Amino acid sequence: MKKTEKVEFITETLEKLYPRTPIPLDHTDPYTLLISVLLSAQTTDKMVNRVTPDLFKKGPNAKAMARLATDEIREIIKPVGLSPTKSKAIKKLSEILIDKFDGKVPATFKELESLPGVGHKTASVVMAQAFGVPAFPVDTHIHRLMYRWGLTNGKNVTQTEKDAKRLFPKELWNKLHLQIIFFGREYCPARSHNFESCPLCRVVGRKSLVK
């Protein structure tokens, strides 16, 4: 099957399975989304959603968050892991938002990636989900599935993102990256994956590429 045929089948199948793509991280605005995405590194969305109600009750915006002590932030977010690093980043980026951006989350990749704790993937999620700018954030699910489907060589997430943007129509990126994440969680796990019963791998994948 040619890559163009794979892309067509994948997008059609995912649209049937996930016509609606609610954002998995609970948030109310670009700021709370940014903090939630930052917290989601090396943990689950479910865990993040458990700690953010208490965090955002005390720090619903950059100004309020900057007033909190780093130790107070750390104590609240401890269950998500990496709390020493994440609490410092949250405190510092909130101060920077106040000093440089009038307390608002900037809507450019360059400015977002200049903030502490904000890498390209986090910036991509915020640009796509908060501001509607076409982006294709690559997490472990997308990286794994793009490789299983033979759409990338799987060397690194940077290459996977380039391949995804090259293959899939730009107007689908923001919805599609969520659809792939949902699919990976439901049908295509990293371990104990059933190739023959997977709605996509059994058609567009190759067993030699499953890992």
Q: Is 71 a catalytic residue?
A: no
Catalytic residue among 88, 139, 162, 175: 139
The dihedral sign for the CA sequence 46, 50, 55, 60 = positive
Maximum C-alpha span of the chain: 56
H-state helical runs in 130-207:
140-148, 157-167, 173-186, 201-204
Catalytic residue among 6, 91, 121, 163: 121
Q: Quote the CA–CA distance of 195 and 150 in Å, as a whole number.
A: 14
User: Both tokens of residue 114?
Assistant: 């200049």
Q: Quote the CA–CA distance of 144 and 148 in Å, as a whole number.
A: 6
Q: Are 86 and 80 in contact (CB under 8 A)?
A: yes
Q: Is 139 a catalytic residue?
A: yes
Q: Quote the CA–CA distance of 156 and 56 in Å, as a whole number.
A: 34
Q: Are 174 and 134 in contact (CB under 8 A)?
A: yes
User: What count of other Cβ atoms lies within 10 Å of the Cβ of residue 34?
Assistant: 27
Positions annotated as catalytic residues are: 121, 139
